[in-house]
A and B are shown apart, each in its own frame.
Chain A
Amino acid sequence: AQRVTQPEKLLSVFKGAPVELKCNYSYSGSPELFWYVQYSRQRLQLLLRHISRESIKGFTADLNKGETSFHLKKPFAQEEDSAMYYCALSSYGGATNKLIFGTGTLLAVQP
């Protein structure tokens, strides 16, 4: 079965602390993994995708096929990082844009 699991509903950290948002997936084919973010009163938007291997707003995520994980990390959290984060997967190379989302993690960065 295709599934994305985000075990934490809420993650609360202090400004300057490291952040790790967990994501595990189950997929039989070759997945492409993404992190989407929704800031307060804004639209859901793409944060990063594993195939790009880039850092956005200081966030990075590495695809670990052995552990079927795609955790999102940032060394020093900022208050403006407070948002809802969704991990999602799609079929790599497939002729579809279908996304399977996790249930999301609310990141709250305290001053």
Chain B
Amino acid sequence: KAGVTQTPRYLIKTRGQQVTLSCSPISGHRSVSWYQQTPGQGLQFLFEYFSETQRNKGNFPGRFSGRQFSNSRSEMNVSTLELGDSALYLCASSLGEGSYQPQHFGDGTRLSIL
């Protein structure tokens, strides 16, 4: 089975721009979660989608949004980029049924804001 695929791997943007990151989960997985990883804050939960619905949301401003498509692929969008948004953004997928299911992580998208 192919693993979780995130595109692009690297992005460089400037302040005020917006960005869209993509995540393709493992085939058959219906839950997709997003995390932000920074040296100062570590791994922080952004949001989780299951069957095209946002199931949970972390403590991030409204500039961070996401969505999930019928094929379970997910995108996250960050608008009006700030320097502090520079981070590695990780996507994880799981079966999503019932109680906690082990998550499989992608390699991440490294976003740099100039």
Contacts and interface: CB of A to CB of B under 8 A. Distances in A.
Q: Is the interface on chain A under 10, 10 to 19, 20 to 34, or 35 or more residues?
A: 20 to 34
Contacts of A100: 45
Main secondary structure of the interface of A (DSSP, over half): loop
> Which of B31, B56, B99 has most A Cβ within 10 Å?
B99
Given A86-B43, A102-B42, A104-B42, A97 B101 contact: yes
A101 B88 CA distance: 15
B16 interface: no
A46 B106 contact: no
Nearest to B43: A101
18 contacts: A43-B3, A43-B106, A44-B90, A44-B105, A45-B105, A46-B103, A94-B99, A95-B55, A95-B98, A96-B56, A96-B100, A97-B48, A97-B92, A97-B96, A97-B101, A98-B45, A104-B42, A104-B43
Interface of B: 3, 31, 33, 35, 42-45, 48, 55-56, 58, 90, 92, 94, 96, 98-107
